[in-house]
Chains A and B, each alone.
Chain A
Amino acid sequence: MSKISLGDILINARQESIRMRHYYLGVEHLFISLLEIQGGLTTAILEEYGITARYIVDAIRRVAGKGNRQRLWAGMPNTPRADVVMSIANDLALEDRRTEISERDVLIAILDESDSIPIRVLKRLRISPQALLEKAKNAPSEQIASLNPPYTRIEFGEQFDSAQSITDEHVFVLRRMFFSHAAVRVERRLPGGYSSAVLFVVTPINADNTTDSPIVIKIDRTDNILEEAARYESHVKSSLPPLTARIEDKPIVVETSDFAALRYTFVTDANGYSRDLREAAQYLPDLATWLKNILFPYFGKTWWMQRSPYRFQVWMEYDWLLPPLLILEHIAENDAPEEAFTISDPVKRARLQKLDYGAVVIVDGFSVNRVYRDQNMIQLTLGKGAEASKKAYKIQVKGINLSEYAFFRGEVVERLAGRVYETRTALMLQALNALEPDFDPADDLIPGSDKSVRLPNPLMVYDNALDEFYNGSISKIHGDLHLGNILVGVDQNPFLIDFAQTRNGHTLSDWAMLEVSLLNDLVMPSQGDTWGTARAILGYISLINRGKEIPSTAGEIRQMLAPIQAVRSIVNQCLAKTETRAEYFIALSMCALRAYEWDTISLGARRLMFCLAALSFYELQQMPRSSESGADSRTSIWNE
């Protein structure tokens, strides 16, 4: 039995109340206090549901909301409900002839009272308080303190390249996930995406040495995993084709680790071999046809083909691809001068660009999108609720003492002050300088593939582009459709994985992302790294933009660019208005702008991405501006 006394529970509960500026003792504070007991009964029971204490704590804080700076009463009174709970706990101890109220008594009392904020939060998470109550009553007390997970052997398959790293953290999470198996064989690590996530193909092995079918495991930061599971529930589950990778079971979250995992079902090909499209592209006889005739219709029926007209302002759909708008260094709100610049909705970006380093800025009405506990940093995004999930206008605030200030995901920050440490403009310029441009980064025009045509410098035009409106379509989209997230299984069937960004959004953004990925992952690695090479490839893309054939003199490049042409033919089927491709070029420019700073792709690929952004902006400039006949899909809110 854990030796936590009631006194400790109450001290913890009061501290939580102060962190939230509540200054009363409520059932929510008592419950959070129970969740903070390491190896306690409450966390042990909830872990069986695959949910961490941390996650529930944040969910409770979200419902309760943070209080006002100003105190309206002295002391720390109990709420009437907390009094009820404490008297139930007291009765439980008395019935048992104990003098001291235990953690279990408080937990049972909270579950028994059944009408408090934490109970409502549990119900929303589909955890039955009644079932918890049974577990709490029946848990044998000796077991509680020693919940050591059974030992699961980790083996490595022949295809596992020992050069591919697997960290202790990964092994730990895998053991937890397969605790009921004797062993698990890690077949291989999939190259995966560009985020912190890693993907393994593993085969679970039972105690009698029989094996289960291989599955794909994704391990990532807990927040990301839980968000993907939630998006899968709301957007993906009901719209998948009959045969595809699905998320199985609930995510596995390990209390003592920042990492969590989820598993996708996975069907291997005839040789028991599984690949993502990056590798499969080498084996598929005709990748272009596969994209057009298999991938697109397979998922398209419930995704991209069910689209409706959608007029959007570029930043709403695409700002999240760009670096943070600002990085701030946190200062105490009281130290902010009266005249400090306030950022709130609507964001006036033009004025932000005039801010100097060190200027004090106050952020108002942004949501906490991510808390980096190890770095004392939080990331904010504009708006609240559904709006915040678009993740536009990221602002990072560093140097926050997170043990003193409670920040939780989804919290709306009302007044947070910081000094400007870095701006988006500077971050994007640094990323360009890392590519060692052979032109002046401050020029309005930069060289293109053709000496006679110079292209707009993306750094000079992207900001205005964010404010433009486009007519396009909205549908269910994958949100991060790159080659690493497309798996090829039996009979060349497509499987999509990684639903962390899946949502209703601009239909063409999936295809712009796939084009960018095809160029970076399939075309550029075999080409050179020079600006000259990048511009040569750009010349061919320019031909594709014009619907022209790539000359046979181009050699192997012609074959390599066939999948790009396939993507364009899919795009043509998905245009909101036939022949009006502006909505695609804006998507492509933004996806390319996101990619030119990725250090996971080759230097040549990053240079091509910068050029591709320039070319896409050039194409947009060439298109007729909105006229009375409405022939164009683009209009600007600026008077020209």
Chain B
Amino acid sequence: MKDMRISLAIMSGLQDGSMIELSEEGDNGTTNGQKWTLSIGRREENDVCLRHDTYVSRYHALIHYQDNTWWLEDCNSKNGTFIEDNDDDARVSGTIPIETGQFFRVGRTWLRLQDF
């Protein structure tokens, strides 16, 4: 695993339209050789900090890259992590695979993974 990089587009809320670029080189996330992990939450120390959304938990969700796949994990957040599922949003429990381009929601904020 080398040169891991991904963009995260914010798709709703105050920061709607902004793009967060994350890379291993830029010292984002943690890695253990097998897996690159990015954290999302309201606290500053997260890789993706959503400080304006009060529905986001302090440590809300994780994004992993492992086995050539992106994974989304909910960290038992109070208000949940959701993926778009037809008309209804489906709540994520545990870790699920996720594709770039797919929408997911952390608290009230919609996000989308995009290739860098």
Chain A interface residues toward B at CB < 8 A: 22, 24, 26-28, 63-65, 67-68, 70, 72-73, 77, 79-84, 115-117, 120, 124, 385-386
* Contact indicator A79/B108 (Cβ below 8 Å): no
Q: Assuming A70-B54, A72-B52, A385-B88, is B108 touching A80 (CB within 8 A)?
A: no
* Contact indicator A79/B14 (Cβ below 8 Å): yes
* Contact indicator B87/A80 (Cβ below 8 Å): no
By a CB distance below 8 angstroms, the chain A residues around B108 are 64-65, 67
By a CB distance below 8 angstroms, the chain B residues around A28 are 12
B44 close to chain A: CB less than 8 A: no
* Contact indicator A24/B87 (Cβ below 8 Å): no
By a CB distance below 8 angstroms, the chain B residues around A116 are 16-17
The 3 A-B residue pairs with the shortest CB-CB distance, nearest first, are: A81-B17, A80-B17, A79-B16
Interface residues of B in 62-116 (CB under 8 A from A): 87-89, 103, 108, 110
Residue of A nearest to B10 (CB): A80
Chain B binding site: helix, strand, loop or mixed by DSSP? loop
Once the chains are docked, how many angstroms separate the CA of A136 from the CA of B87? 27
* Contact indicator B13/A79 (Cβ below 8 Å): yes
* Contact indicator A117/B12 (Cβ below 8 Å): yes
Once the chains are docked, how many angstroms separate the CA of A70 from the CA of B53? 11
Q: Assuming A124-B87, A385-B88, A386-B88, is B14 touching A77 (CB within 8 A)?
A: yes
By a CB distance below 8 angstroms, the chain B residues around A67 are 108
Chain A binding site: helix, strand, loop or mixed by DSSP? loop
By a CB distance below 8 angstroms, the chain B residues around A117 are 11-12, 16, 110
B18 close to chain A: CB less than 8 A: yes
Q: Assuming A117-B11, A117-B12, is B17 touching A79 (CB within 8 A)?
A: yes
Once the chains are docked, how many angstroms separate the CA of A256 from the CA of B82? 36
Residue of B nearest to A80 (CB): B17
* Contact indicator A26/B16 (Cβ below 8 Å): yes
Smallest CB separation, B108 vs chain A (Å): 5
* Contact indicator B88/A81 (Cβ below 8 Å): no
Residue of A nearest to B86 (CB): A124
Once the chains are docked, how many angstroms separate the CA of A440 from the CA of B93? 53
By a CB distance below 8 angstroms, the chain A residues around B89 are 385
Once the chains are docked, how many angstroms separate the CA of A81 from the CA of B55? 21
Q: Assuming A65-B108, A67-B108, A68-B54, is B14 touching A73 (CB within 8 A)?
A: yes
* Contact indicator A73/B16 (Cβ below 8 Å): no
Once the chains are docked, how many angstroms separate the CA of A533 from the CA of B86? 52
B30 close to chain A: CB less than 8 A: no
Residue of A nearest to B52 (CB): A72
Q: Assuming A117-B11, A124-B87, is B16 touching A81 (CB within 8 A)?
A: yes
Once the chains are docked, how many angstroms separate the CA of A287 from the CA of B110? 56
Interface residues of B in 1-43 (CB under 8 A from A): 9, 11-18
Extra A-B contacts (13), CB below 8 Å, given A26-B16, A27-B17, A80-B15: A24-B13, A27-B16, A63-B110, A73-B14, A79-B13, A80-B17, A81-B16, A82-B16, A83-B17, A84-B17, A117-B12, A385-B88, A386-B88
18 A–B pairs (Cβ distance < 8 Å), ordered by A: A24-B14, A26-B12, A27-B16, A28-B12, A63-B110, A65-B55, A67-B108, A73-B14, A73-B52, A80-B17, A82-B16, A115-B9, A115-B11, A116-B16, A116-B17, A117-B110, A385-B88, A386-B88
Residue of B nearest to A124 (CB): B87
By a CB distance below 8 angstroms, the chain B residues around A77 are 14
Residue of B nearest to A389 (CB): B88
By a CB distance below 8 angstroms, the chain A residues around B16 are 26-27, 79-82, 116-117
Residue of B nearest to A116 (CB): B16
Smallest CB separation, B50 vs chain A (Å): 11
Once the chains are docked, how many angstroms separate the CA of A42 from the CA of B13? 23
B17 interface neighbour in A68, A70, A82, A120, Cβ under 8 Å: A82
Residue of B nearest to A69 (CB): B54
Once the chains are docked, how many angstroms separate the CA of A67 from the CA of B54? 9
Residue of B nearest to A59 (CB): B87
* Contact indicator B88/A80 (Cβ below 8 Å): no
* Contact indicator B12/A80 (Cβ below 8 Å): no
A64 interface neighbour in B12, B15, B87, Cβ under 8 Å: B12
By a CB distance below 8 angstroms, the chain B residues around A82 are 16-17
By a CB distance below 8 angstroms, the chain A residues around B52 are 72-73
Once the chains are docked, how many angstroms separate the CA of A124 from the CA of B84? 11
By a CB distance below 8 angstroms, the chain A residues around B17 are 27, 79-84, 115-116
Once the chains are docked, how many angstroms separate the CA of A64 from the CA of B110? 9
Once the chains are docked, how many angstroms separate the CA of A64 from the CA of B108? 7
Smallest CB separation, A553 vs chain B (Å): 57
By a CB distance below 8 angstroms, the chain B residues around A79 are 13-17
Smallest CB separation, A524 vs chain B (Å): 41
Smallest CB separation, A371 vs chain B (Å): 19
Contact mask for chain B residues 42-59; partner A; CB cutoff 8 A; 1 contact, 0 none: 000000000010110000
Once the chains are docked, how many angstroms separate the CA of A582 from the CA of B13? 52
Smallest CB separation, B85 vs chain A (Å): 10
Once the chains are docked, how many angstroms separate the CA of A124 from the CA of B87? 8
B54 interface neighbour in A63, A72, A84, Cβ under 8 Å: A72
By a CB distance below 8 angstroms, the chain B residues around A84 are 17
Once the chains are docked, how many angstroms separate the CA of A27 from the CA of B17? 10
Smallest CB separation, A13 vs chain B (Å): 14
For B11, B16, B103, the residue with the greatest tally of chain A CB atoms inside 10 Å of its CB is B16
Smallest CB separation, B52 vs chain A (Å): 6
By a CB distance below 8 angstroms, the chain B residues around A68 are 54-55
Smallest CB separation, B102 vs chain A (Å): 12
Once the chains are docked, how many angstroms separate the CA of A146 from the CA of B29? 58
For B14, B52, B89, the residue with the greatest tally of chain A CB atoms inside 10 Å of its CB is B14
Once the chains are docked, how many angstroms separate the CA of A49 from the CA of B55? 35
Smallest CB separation, A3 vs chain B (Å): 30
Smallest CB separation, A166 vs chain B (Å): 35
Smallest CB separation, B90 vs chain A (Å): 9
Smallest CB separation, A20 vs chain B (Å): 11
Once the chains are docked, how many angstroms separate the CA of A117 from the CA of B13? 10
Once the chains are docked, how many angstroms separate the CA of A26 from the CA of B110? 14
Once the chains are docked, how many angstroms separate the CA of A117 from the CA of B103? 11
Residue of B nearest to A72 (CB): B52
Smallest CB separation, B83 vs chain A (Å): 13
By a CB distance below 8 angstroms, the chain A residues around B13 are 22, 24, 26, 79
Once the chains are docked, how many angstroms separate the CA of A81 from the CA of B9? 11
Once the chains are docked, how many angstroms separate the CA of A207 from the CA of B110? 51
